[in-house]
Amino acid sequence: MPTDTADDPYLRARLRVTEDPEGYWLDAARAVDWIQPPTVALDASQAPLHRWFPDGTLNTCFNAVDRHVRDGHGDRPAIIHESPVTETSTTMTYSDLLRAVSVCAGAMRRLGVARGDTVLIYMPMVPEAVVAMLACARIGAVHSVVFGGFAANELAARIDDAAPTLVLSASCGVEPTRIVPYKPLLDAAVAMSTAVPPRCVVLQRPMQTAALDPARDLDWHDFLALGADQPAECVELAATDPLYVLYTSGTTAKPKGIVRDNGGHAVAMTWALPNIFDVGPGEVMWAASDIGWVVGHSFIVYAPLLTGATTVLYEGKPVGTPDAAQFWRVVERHAVKALFTAPTAIRAIRKEDPDGSGAAVARLDSLQTLFLAGERLDPATYEWAGQVLGVPVVDNWWQTETGWPIAANLRGLAPMPIKPGSPTVPVPGFDVRILDTDGREVGPGQEGAICLKLPLPPGCLLTVWGDEHRFRSSYLSAFEGYYATGDGGFVDEDGYLQVMGRTDDVINVAGHRLSTGAIEAVLTGHPAVVEAAVVGVHDELKGQLPHGFITIRSEPAVDREQLRTELVALVRDRIGPVASFRTTTVHQALPKTRSGKILRKVLRDLHDGAAVDVPPTIEDPAVLERIRQELHTR
Q: Which residues bind ligand AMP (CB under 6 A)?
A: 248, 294, 373-377, 395-397, 399-400, 423, 485-487, 499, 502, 508, 513
In single-letter form, the type of residue at position 161 comes to D
- Of ligand AMP, ligand COA, none, which one sits near residue 264, judging by CB under 5 to 8 A according to partner kind? none
**In contact, 261 and 268? CB cutoff 8 Å:** no
Give the three-class secondary structure for 524.
Answer: helix
In the list ligand COA, ligand AMP, none, the entry touching 344 (Cβ below 5 to 8 angstroms by class) is ligand COA
Nearest approach, Cβ of residue 146 and ligand COA (Å) = 10
Sequence-ordered strand ranges (E) for 262-346? 284-287, 310-314, 338-341
Instruction: Give the whole-angstrom CA distance, residue 158 versus residue 291.
Output: 16
Taking the C-alpha atoms of residue 502 and residue 544, their distance in angstroms, rounded to an integer, is 12
Q: Report residue 494: phi and psi, to 5°.
A: -90, 5
**CB-CB contact of 336 with 278 (8 Å):** no
CA 532 to CA 563: how far, in whole Å?
13
Least Å distance, CB 423 to ligand AMP, is: 5
Per-position DSSP letters for 371-396, written without gaps between them? EE-SS---HHHHHHHHHHH-S-EEE-
- Bridge partner residues of 491 (DSSP): 497
Residue 508 interface partner, choices ligand COA, ligand AMP, none, CB cut-off 5-8 Å depending on type: ligand AMP
State in angstroms the smallest separation of the CB of 629 from ligand AMP.
32
Shortest Å, Cβ 180 to ligand AMP: 21
Minimum Å distance from CB 297 to ligand AMP?
11
At 434, the amino acid letter reads I
Q: Which residues bind ligand COA (CB under 6 A)?
A: 148-149, 173, 175, 180, 288-290, 293, 295, 317-319, 341-342, 344-345, 348, 373-374, 510-512, 541, 577-578, 580
> Which of ligand AMP, ligand COA, none does 487 bind, CB closer than 5 to 8 A by kind?
ligand AMP
Shortest separation between residue 591's beta carbon and ligand AMP, angstroms: 24
Rounded Cα distance between 592 and 600, Å, is 9
Separation of alpha carbons 153 and 149, rounded Å: 12
Cα–Cα distance, 255 to 266 (Å, whole number): 25
Query: Is the CB of 367 or the CB of 510 nearer to ligand COA?
Result: 510
486 binds, among ligand AMP, ligand COA, none (CB under 5 to 8 A by kind): ligand AMP
Distance of closest approach, residue 373 Cβ to ligand AMP, in angstroms: 4
CB of 600 to ligand COA, least distance (A): 22
If contact means CB under 5 to 8 A according to the sort of partner, which of ligand COA, ligand AMP, none does residue 577 touch? ligand COA
Considering CB distances under 5 to 8 angstroms, the limit depending on partner class, which of ligand AMP, ligand COA, none binds residue 399? ligand AMP
Q: Which does 513 bind (CB under 5 to 8 A by kind): ligand AMP, ligand COA, none?
A: ligand AMP
Would you give the DSSP letter of residue 8? -
- Say which entry of ligand AMP, ligand COA, none residue 319 contacts (CB below 5 to 8 A, set by partner kind): ligand COA
Smaller CB separation from ligand AMP, 142 or 407: 407
- Spatial separation of the C-alpha atoms in residues 392 and 381, rounded to whole Å: 13
Give the end-to-end CA distance of the chain in Å, rounded to a whole number: 49
Nearer to ligand COA, 109 or 547 (CB): 547
Q: How far is the CB of 154 from ligand COA (least distance, A)?
A: 12
Q: Which of 67, 100, 512 is nearest to 296 (CA)?
A: 512
DSSP state of 148: T
Q: Is the CB of 139 or the CB of 545 nearer to ligand COA?
A: 545
Q: Between 224 and 294, whose beta carbon lies closer to ligand AMP?
A: 294
Output the CA–CA distances (angstroms, integers) from residue 312 to 67, 121, 247, 285, in the order listed. Answer: 20, 19, 23, 6
> Would you say 409 or 485 has its CB closer to ligand AMP?
485
Q: Which is nearer to ligand COA, 141 or 288 (CB)?
A: 288
Cα(593)–Cα(596) distance, rounded to whole angstroms? 5
Of residues 321 and 498, the one with the C-beta less far from ligand AMP: 498
Residues 6+ apart with CB under 8 A from 617: 593, 594, 595
Which of the listed partners (ligand AMP, ligand COA, none) does 376 bind, with a CB threshold of 5 to 8 Å by partner kind?
A: ligand AMP
> In angstroms, what is the minimal distance from the CB of 73 to ligand AMP?
31
- Residue 112 carries which side chain, given as an amino acid letter? G
Nearer to ligand AMP, 112 or 379 (CB): 379
| Amino acid identity at 293 | W
Q: Would you state the torsion angle of the CA atoms of residues 176, 293, 348, 382, taken in this order, to the nearest 10 degrees?
A: 160
> Shortest distance, CB of residue 295 to ligand AMP, whole angstroms?
7
Could you tell which of ligand AMP, ligand COA, none binds residue 297, using a CB distance below 5 to 8 A set by kind? Answer: none
Interaction partner, residue 173 (ligand COA, ligand AMP, none; CB < 5-8 Å by kind) = ligand COA
Question: 28 or 159, CB closer to ligand COA?
Answer: 159
Closest-CA residue to 311 (of 343, 334, 332, 328): 334
CB of 285 to ligand AMP, least distance (A): 18
Q: Which of 588, 500, 579, 574 is closest to 536 using CA atoms?
A: 579
CA atoms within 13 A on the CB side of 504: 18
Tell me the β-bridge partners of 246.
Answer: 258
- When the beta carbons of 332 and 375 are compared against ligand AMP, the nearer one is 375
Please state the φ and ψ torsions of residue 595, each to the nearest 5 degrees. -90, 5
CB nearer to ligand COA: pick between 241 and 375? 375
Cα(259)–Cα(271) distance, rounded to whole angstroms?
20
Least separation in angstroms between CB 395 and ligand AMP: 5
Q: Which does 510 bind (CB under 5 to 8 A by kind): ligand AMP, ligand COA, none?
A: ligand COA
> Within 13 Å, how many C-alpha atoms sit on residue 480's CB side?
1
Of 168 and 237, which has the nearer Cβ to ligand COA?
168
